[in-house]
């Protein structure tokens, strides 16, 4: 990441909302991050990308701003989303529990630490439950102090992976017992997490789950930092990966000879598995069973891309950057 005063205090929020089939609604949510109620643009804030998935009925909105501005941008977007999305009418193939399902905040600039993002995440969770009565939140990552439990663990505890979570059994960290209209929102902070999805040409979910298990971090020989679900998607199976950044450099056993992109946060080196390695590993495992990998989608950006494009957008005063790309960025 190139050093610059412009980007030194930047953070990113990859806001996950439970709607994709009404793209105008999702754009309205994105614009709420950029403009106040009077239509005046928030200085130093941009939306780089909106990723919509029709089958999942889920969108990811990439909001970038300085650490000083991110809270109001994210809260305004969440407030708008909660007013427009009713979980009682939601359907989609991707697990979800909330109208605003996930609010992760990641440091991009060298003058911002994960602890700074954690403080903002906690403030966002508190602000959401105060502004939108009836909303509830759980904390994960650095925001979950002092335990710092990861997103996958917290989701499991909340029943996120179940087809029909028992809302009455959930004990949120903030807000009341989850209500059916708004559901439950995960809010947290960590080093950057990339989303990489590989599609295999089969409808065999058992095969998909076996491949997901094989590359998952918790499996011996799995890929560090990679959390995986196998989901039905557009007549095939998608190996959907959350690619967490891990401390230090990868060992030869896990890198497979490929360079892992690295970056520094507060002097600590982090790296993440490259999409090419994940794709190759999935293709190899699927190929052993006579099935091909037919495509890889990067949802949003790598940390390097996110920082660089944010600097570009902000230096040119482009708030709605997703419109300037001229194509869907995957």
Q: Could you tell me the residue ranges of all domains in the chain?
A: 3-190+303-328, 193-299
Q: How far apart are CA 55 and CA 129, in angstroms?
A: 29
Closest CA to 98 of 38, 16, 2, 34: 16
Residue 149 has pLDDT above 70, yes or no: yes
Q: How far apart are CA 105 and CA 151, in angstroms?
A: 12
In this predicted model, what pLDDT tens digit does every residue of 90-127 receive, in sequence order? 998 898 999 999 999 999 999 999 999 999 999 999 99
Q: What angle do CA 310, 225, 93 make, to 5 degrees?
A: 80
Closest CA to 81 of 12, 135, 151: 135
In this predicted model, what pLDDT tens digit does every residue of 300-311 receive, in sequence order? 899 999 999 999
pLDDT category at 254 given cuts 50, 70, 90 is low
Q: Is 75 helix (H, G, I), strand (E, B) or coil?
A: helix
Do 10 and 109 contact (CB within 8 A), yes or no? yes
Residue 1 has pLDDT above 50, yes or no: no
Do 144 and 154 contact (CB within 8 A), yes or no? yes
Q: What is the DSSP string of 217-257?
A: TTSTT--TTEEEEEEEETTEEEEEEEEE-EES---HHHHTT
Fold of 193-299: Alpha-Beta Plaits (3.30.70)
Residue 249's pLDDT is 81
The Cα-based distances of 315 to 5, 63, 107, 290 in angstroms read: 11, 16, 19, 49
What mean pLDDT is reported for the chain? 93
Do 274 and 225 contact (CB within 8 A), yes or no? no
pLDDT category at 329 given cuts 50, 70, 90 is very low
In this predicted model, what pLDDT tens digit does every residue of 152-161 receive, in sequence order? 999 999 998 8
Do 254 and 226 contact (CB within 8 A), yes or no? no
The pTM assigned to this predicted structure is 0.93
Residue 134's pLDDT is 97
pLDDT category at 259 given cuts 50, 70, 90 is confident
Phi, psi of 217 (to 5 degrees): -55, -40
Residue 165 has pLDDT above 90, yes or no: no
pLDDT category at 163 given cuts 50, 70, 90 is confident
Residue 3's pLDDT is 38
Residue 101's pLDDT is 97
In this predicted model, what pLDDT tens digit does every residue of 183-196 receive, in sequence order? 999 999 999 999 99
Q: Is 189 helix (H, G, I), strand (E, B) or coil?
A: strand
Look up residue 40 and give its DSSP letter.
P
Contacts of residue 180, defined as CB under 8 A and 6 or more positions apart, other chains included, come to: 87, 88, 167
Top CATH class of 3-190+303-328 equals: alpha beta
How many C-alpha atoms does 53 have within 13 Å on its Cβ side? Answer: 26
Provide, rounded to the nearest whole percent, the portion of the chain with pLDDT above 70. Answer: 95
pLDDT category at 326 given cuts 50, 70, 90 is low
Closest CA to 224 of 150, 327, 160: 150
In this predicted model, what pLDDT tens digit does every residue of 210-227 receive, in sequence order? 999 999 999 999 999 999
Residue 327 has pLDDT above 80, yes or no: no
Instruction: Identify the residue with better confidence: 256 or 323.
Output: 323
Q: How far apart are CA 187 and CA 181, in angstroms?
A: 18
Residue 190's pLDDT is 98
pLDDT category at 328 given cuts 50, 70, 90 is very low
């Amino acid at each position: 990441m190139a050093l610059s005063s412009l980007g030194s205090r930047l953070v990113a929020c990859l806001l996950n909302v439970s709607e994709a089939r009404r793209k105008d609604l999702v754009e309205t949510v994105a614009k709420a991050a950029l403009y106040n109620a009077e239509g005046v643009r928030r200085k130093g804030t941009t939306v780089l990308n909106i990723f919509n998935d029709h089958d999942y009925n889920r969108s990811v909105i990439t909001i970038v701003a300085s650490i000083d501005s991110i809270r109001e941008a994210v809260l305004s977007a969440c407030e708008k989303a909660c007013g427009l999305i009713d979980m009682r009418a939601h359907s989609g193939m991707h697990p979800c529990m909330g109208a605003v399902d996930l609010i992760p905040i990641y440091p991009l600039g060298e003058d911002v630490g994960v602890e700074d993002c954690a403080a903002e995440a906690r403030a966002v969770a508190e602000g959401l439950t105060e502004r939108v009565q009836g909303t509830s939140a759980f904390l994960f990552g650095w925001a979950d102090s002092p335990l710092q439990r990861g997103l996958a663990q917290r989701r499991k505890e909340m029943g996120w992976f179940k087809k029909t979570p028992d809302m009455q059994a959930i004990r949120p960290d903030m807000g009341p017992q989850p209500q059916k209209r708004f559901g439950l929102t995960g809010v947290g902070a960590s080093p950057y997490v990339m989303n990489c999805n590989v599609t295999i040409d089969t409808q065999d979910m058992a095969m998909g789950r076996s491949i997901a298990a094989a590359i998952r971090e918790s499996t011996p020989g799995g890929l560090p930092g990679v959390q995986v679900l196998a989901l039905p998607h557009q007549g095939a199976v998608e190996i959907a990966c959350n690619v967490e950044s891990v401390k230090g450099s990868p060992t030869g056993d896990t890198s497979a000879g490929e360079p892992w992109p690295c970056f520094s946060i507060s002097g600590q080196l982090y790296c993440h598995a490259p999409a090419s390695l994940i794709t190759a590993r999935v293709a190899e495992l699927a190929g052993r069973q006579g099935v091909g990998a037919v495509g890889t989608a990067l949802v949003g950006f790598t940390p390097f891309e996110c920082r660089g494009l944010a600097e570009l957008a902000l230096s040119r005063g482009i708030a709605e950057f997703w419109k300037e790309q001229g194509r869907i960025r995957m």
